[in-house]
Amino acid sequence: MIELFKFFKKKETSKDVAKERLKLVLIHDRSNVSPQFLEMVKSEIIKVIQNYMEIDEDALDIQLTRTNSDDGERIVPALVANIPIKGMKNIGR
Amino acid sequence: MGEVIVITSGKGGVGKTTTTANLGTGIAMQGKKVVLIDTDIGLRNLDVVMGLENRIVYDLVDVIEGQCRLKQALIKDKRYDGLYLLPAPQTRDKNSVAPHQMVTLCNELRQEFDYILIDCPAGIEQGFKNAIAGADRAVVVTTPEVSAVRDADRIIGLLEANEIRNPHLIVNRVRPDMVKRGDMMSIEDIIDILAIGLIGVIPDDENIIISTNRGEPVVTDSKSLAGQAYRNITRRIMGEEVPLMNFNTSDGFLAKMKKLFGIKPA
């Protein structure tokens, strides 16, 4: 009965619109992290990478952004880091 | 040792105070000792919803500042033994209280009461921080609207950041007729978005306004749908498993619900 109902009603309902809008706005809200938090993440990443390579710390850029998911159907939050490498270290080779 | 539960929402006007009054009264109806703390300093309202506005002498800040003893500030409910209210001051600002003072107060009340329910102010500022400081767990109230759900999501994040894990959700003012025709987000939609455990659904019910007019929480009204919903939530809060009310009736929702729950005694 409900299926039949859906068949005749192709139009998007207002609650579908609400849900879609909410999902988008929440991705933004949830990824809206403080600069201090990003600074913490940044320093940890530097620490790990420095074990293996020499990097330009001042030019390191890290930010939260939005991107399409792998299947291209959703928008998901992403952590994007740009880390210029100056040279490799010799450990482990 | 009593348990401290904060009732919060982020957005104003979604039913925090009504929920606090009804759950508190519901718990007292089950024979437990419960105290309700209004932490909405400057905008107190829990007293009028409870119908206790004429009995206020001392308030939360008087207790915290040591102007009176805790016992002197607690207002005993007129209907139920074991139900008490600690009102908010009307003429102070929210910075009169600090989170560590709330923790101390809650710990003192734990000795005396089975449940301590804290009515949180709207917003995420100092008042919110005070309200959640002493809480063991949280109940988040929302309505099926984008603004209320969005704020609930923010509050859930902040609760987790303050180590209050697994908050429970109450969806208030649900209109089954609108959900049915696709003009209101369903409970499933909201749970899907917020990803937290549901503890109850309150249907939109004019009896809430009528009972608030009289200062008698709707949970005491054995004929009202919202009252039944609040009685169910009360039992869930106390650890009982109660099935959710079924709103998906095909015809004559109200008539059917009345038949199902209206004749049920409190």
Q: What is the pLDDT of residue A60?
A: 84
Of the candidates B153, B148, B94, B102, the residue with the CA atom closest to the CA atom of residue B125: B94
- What is the least distance, in Å, from the CA of A22 to any CA of chain B? 6
Q: Look at the block and give the residue holding tokens 């003012």.
A: B173
| Domains contained in chain B, CATH given | 3-262 (3.40.50.300)
The pLDDT confidence band at residue A36, using thresholds 50, 70 and 90, is: confident
pTM here?
0.78
Q: Which residues of B touch A9 (CB under 8 A)?
A: 182
Q: Where are the domains of chain A?
A: 14-88
Q: How many CB atoms are located within 10 Å of the residue A43 CB? A: 11
DSSP B47-72: HHHHT-GGG--S-HHHHHTTSS-HHH
Q: Are strands A75-82 and B3-8 parallel, antiparallel or unpaired?
A: unpaired
Q: What is the mean pLDDT of residues A45-70?
A: 82
Predicted complex: ipTM over 0.85 = no
What value does the mean pLDDT of chain B take? 93
Q: Which of B109-118, B186-195, B219-228, B247-256 has the lowest mean pLDDT?
A: B247-256
Q: Are the CB atoms for B143 and B171 separated by under 8 Å?
A: yes
Residue among A15, A16, A25 minimizing CB distance to B150: A25
**How far is B264 from B249, CA to CA, in rounded Å?**
18
Q: Which of B196-205, B229-238, B249-258 has the lowest mean pLDDT?
A: B249-258
Q: Are strands A75-82 and A61-68 parallel, antiparallel or unpaired?
A: antiparallel
- What is the least distance, in Å, from the CA of A85 to any CA of chain B? 35
Q: Is B179 on the interface with A (CB under 8 A)?
A: yes
Which residue(s) pair with B3 in the sheet? B115
- What is the least distance, in Å, from the CA of B91 to any CA of chain A? 34
Q: Is A22 close to B150, i.e. CB distance below 8 A?
A: yes
